Amino acid sequence: MSRIEVQWCRVWVAVLILLSPAPVDGSEAQMSRSVSVSIGRVKSAYRSTKNTVAFPPGASTALYCPSLCIRQGWCNLWCVLPSTECLVSNIIVMANYQETDTSDALTCYTTRPKNLVAYGTITGGAHTSEFPERVIENLADGYFSYDHRELYSSDRNLSEKWFAVDFGRPTTFQHVVMHAMDSEYAPRSFTQVVVRVGNETAEDPPADFVNYELFGTFPGKASPGQVVEMTSPTPTVARFVSVQKVLDDQFVFTVAHLEVY
């Protein structure tokens, strides 16, 4: 078998994995999941990477798009357009994302799992007045197109910068994923981050977070756009996830995107 044939075999094996149904054991291994997305929203996301390619003659509509997505190396989402084209994008759309603009929504496929943050309540310290659109709710909508208006940024004057997710009941998860902003300010806005988990309500947040169990830390300084993934070796069961920037440096705490699964 030639080298090209071997490479194509690897691509098709990956496609078959991506198209496989989700495992029944609750694992959130990376694979495709259908999700309704506004095509206009995807196409107009000016900071994202995307590509639209016409189907070659005789190409399978079920296999060509995921194959194209895999070959890009940066693709998180693909859609089959009515114009018999394949749209691939690096926009992050969680599998349980709820599209609000249904006028041009299509069924697309995402490589991202369901985000437990969407099922909970997220609260935190005051957001920055310099960028009033960077509210904490941005971290719970399950959509991120790398637009700086979609971030969460704390008030720089807070001595304690934090946010927390309440799932409402003990919930099983193994991963906490955060994206730093894609900016030269990332090393200062995402540094010395601590994640804790617990089952008791913190009556005095963030001071009471010290009573939670440590889940993970990021002691360094993030590079622009860095993805920080904290993973527990075994499934964790907790109602609350708290996230703190423990460095009091008179600078904002910015998180571009948050996932818990």
Query: What's the mean pLDDT in 136-160?
Result: 95
> CA–CA separation, 84 vs 156, rounded Å?
48
Residue 57 reports pLDDT greater than 60: yes
Within 13 A of 2's CA, how many CA atoms are on the CB side?
Answer: 3
The domains of the chain are located at 3-110, 116-260
Q: What mean pLDDT value characterizes the chain?
A: 89
Contacts of 37 (CB under 8 A, 6+ apart): 77, 79, 93, 97, 99, 105, 106, 108
Residue 124 reports pLDDT greater than 70: yes
pLDDT at position 31:
65
Query: What's the mean pLDDT in 214-232?
Result: 97
Ranking 34-38, 61-65, 210-214, 249-253 by mean pLDDT, the lowest is: 61-65
Residue 204 reports pLDDT greater than 90: yes
pLDDT at position 26:
38
Residue 106 reports pLDDT greater than 50: yes
Query: What's the mean pLDDT in 79-90?
Result: 94
Residue given tokens 């075994």 in the structure block: 234
Q: How confident is the model at residue 99 (pLDDT cuts 50, 70, 90)?
A: very high
Residue 23 reports pLDDT greater than 60: no
Q: How confident is the model at residue 24 (pLDDT cuts 50, 70, 90)?
A: very low
pLDDT at position 248:
84
Query: What's the mean pLDDT in 151-156?
Result: 96
Q: What pTM, to 2 d.p., does this model score?
A: 0.86
> CA–CA separation, 87 vs 81, rounded Å?
7
pLDDT at position 7:
44
Residue 14 reports pLDDT greater than 70: no
- Residues of 198-233 as b/e, b for ≥16 C-beta within 10 angstroms? beeebeebbeebeebeebbebeeebeeebebebeee
Closest CA to 117 of 155, 168, 186: 168
Nearest-10 crossing angle of helices 3-18, 64-72: 110
pLDDT at position 83:
86
DSSP alpha helix (H) spans, the chain: 3-18, 39-43, 64-72, 186-189
pLDDT at position 16:
40
pLDDT at position 249:
87
Residue of 173 and 249 predicted with greater confidence? 173
Classify domain 116-260 by CATH number: 2.60.120.260
